[in-house]
């Protein structure tokens, strides 16, 4: 990433932090970027409203979702890291319990077909239930969460504004959380501006794009930078985490994990489902020299991906052009 672009992004972050309270109110709602595919989220059943978004944001940041009030959704999904968990290799839950995987970023959920590293959830509305009920994450029952929200004097009015009555229910809580999360659309990186003819990429970034298309785009395809499939990318020859196999119980899915979205990837270390790599350089080195063979290894990786050190540098420069500074500094997501 160029110094000038970094300084510009930092300046934007400081500017919006200083003045977002005085910003003019604009029309509110979900808007698909012109160069993005159609969303998969069921907006007909749960249209985004400003009141629903505000309620969802409050719940997202509320520790009441966990058994002892210590863990919120935001605990593992930091806006500055594109709503990923940059603090831990394996995400930490209630009582300091170490989870099984690193929490993935939750940008652009409105366009995804399945969720989590193993695809165990196929609708945004049900994502929070997994975290709430997981004993290593929030270790709570949804019925208990609702009881806690009902005793908070601020929530009845917020539910009234969002849904027309003050009744606090699990479906309404989940709909509010979805309204907040599907608004996390990251689509304004330097690469997006290049696609739309608004900004030029550097020569190094363009070379990286060319190499990325050649060596990486068969899996990290399209503007979402994921084909949304599940693949074994050669991390291990034996599996302590069966990945997609946990869900399907099929031997052919052992060791397969969802191809991650690479938007804002510069910010979302550590990498892979278990956070084993701390840098993009380590990730590319893995694909070049450290592929582990097993029965479910993706056939494209049986010989690794040949990349020189110079080519790796170019690819990383391109990946850094996917950082969306407007997204990570967007004041509408601030607590």
- pLDDT at site 44: 97
Tell me the pLDDT of the chain averaged across its residues. Answer: 93
> Nearest to residue 300, comparing CAs of 214, 224, 223, 239?
214
Nearest to 86 by CA among 278, 319, 284: 278
Q: Which residues contact 179 (CB under 8 A, 6 or more apart)?
A: 46, 48, 49, 52, 53, 55, 56
How many other C-beta atoms can be found within 10 angstroms of the C-beta atom of residue 225? 22
Whether the predicted pLDDT of 22 surpasses 50: no
**pTM for this predicted structure:** 0.90
Q: What is the pLDDT of residue 89?
A: 96
What is the mean pLDDT of the segment spanning 32-53?
Answer: 98
> How much is the average pLDDT of 35-64?
98
Instruction: List pLDDT tens digits, range 104-144.
Output: 999 999 999 999 999 999 999 999 999 999 999 999 999 99
Query: What is the model's pLDDT at position 335?
Result: 86
Does residue 284 contact residue 306 with C-beta atoms inside 8 Å?
no
The whole-number pLDDT of residue 67 equals 98
The mean pLDDT of 271-293, rounded to a whole number, is: 98
Mean pLDDT within 328-334: 96
CB 132 within 8 A of CB 138: yes
Quick one: pLDDT at residue 12?
A: 39
Contact indicator for 312, 287 with CB cutoff of 8 Å: no
Alpha helices (H) in 100-184, listed in sequence order: 127-133, 142-151, 155-163, 170-181
pLDDT of 26 reads 54
**Residue 318: is its pLDDT beyond 70?**
yes
pLDDT attached to residue 77: 97
Which residue has tokens 């007909």?
A: 44
Which backbone phi and psi does 31 adopt, to 5 degrees? -135, 125
Q: How far is Cα 335 from Cα 286, in angstroms, rounded to an integer?
A: 38
The 10s digit of each residue's pLDDT in 242-281 is 999 999 999 999 999 999 999 999 999 999 999 999 999 9
Average pLDDT of the segment spanning 16-40:
71
pLDDT per position as a tens digit, 51-73: 999 999 999 999 999 999 999 99
Q: Rounded distance, CA 9 to CA 132, Å?
A: 34
Question: Between residues 10 and 276, which one has the greater pLDDT?
Answer: 276
Question: What is the rounded distance in angstroms from the CA atom of residue 19 to the CA atom of residue 14?
Answer: 9
Question: 17: which 2 tokens?
Answer: 């932090």
Nearest to residue 222, comparing CAs of 181, 188, 266, 261? 261
Dump pLDDT digits (tens) for 161-215.
999 999 999 999 999 999 999 999 999 999 999 999 999 999 999 999 999 999 9
pLDDT above 80 (res 2): no
End-to-end CA distance of the chain: 28
């Amino acid at each position: 990433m160029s110094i000038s672009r970094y300084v510009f992004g930092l300046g934007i972050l400081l500017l919006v932090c200083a003045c977002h309270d005085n910003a003019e109110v604009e029309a509110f709602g979900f808007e698909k970027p012109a160069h993005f595919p159609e969303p998969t989220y069921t907006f007909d059943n749960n249209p985004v409203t400003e009141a629903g978004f505000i309620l969802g944001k409050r719940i997202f940041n509320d520790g009441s979702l966990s058994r002892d009030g210590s863990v919120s959704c935001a605990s593992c999904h930091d806006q500055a890291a594109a709503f990923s968990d940059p603090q831990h290799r394996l995400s930490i839950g209630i009582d300091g319990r170490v989870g099984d995987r690193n929490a993935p970023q939750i940008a652009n959920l409105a366009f995804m077909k399945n969720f989590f590293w193993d695809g165990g959830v196929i609708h945004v509305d049900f994502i929070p239930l997994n975290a709430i009920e997981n004993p290593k994450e929030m270790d709570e029952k949804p019925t208990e969460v609702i009881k806690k929200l009902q005793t908070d004097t601020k929530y009845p009015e917020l539910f009234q504004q969002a849904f027309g009555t003050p009744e606090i229910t699990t479906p309404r809580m989940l709909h509010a959380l979805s309204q907040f999360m599907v608004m996390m659309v990251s689509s304004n990186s330097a690469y997006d501006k290049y696609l739309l003819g608004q900004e030029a990429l550097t020569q190094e970034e363009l070379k990286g794009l060319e190499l990325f298309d050649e060596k990486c785009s068969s899996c990290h395809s399209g503007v979402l930078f994921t084909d949304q499939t599940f693949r074994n990318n050669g991390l291990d020859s034996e599996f302590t985490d069966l990945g997609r196999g946990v869900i399907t119980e099929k031997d052919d899915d052992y060791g397969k994990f969802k191809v991650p979205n690479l938007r804002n990837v510069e910010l979302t270390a550590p990498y892979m489902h278990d956070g084993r790599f701390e840098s993009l350089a380590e990730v590319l080195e893995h694909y070049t020299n450290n592929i582990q063979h097993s029965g479910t290894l993706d056939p494209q990786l049986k010989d690794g991906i040949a990349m020189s050190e110079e080519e790796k540098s170019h690819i990383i420069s391109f990946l850094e052009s996917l950082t969306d500074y407007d997204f990570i500094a967007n004041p509408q997501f601030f607590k």
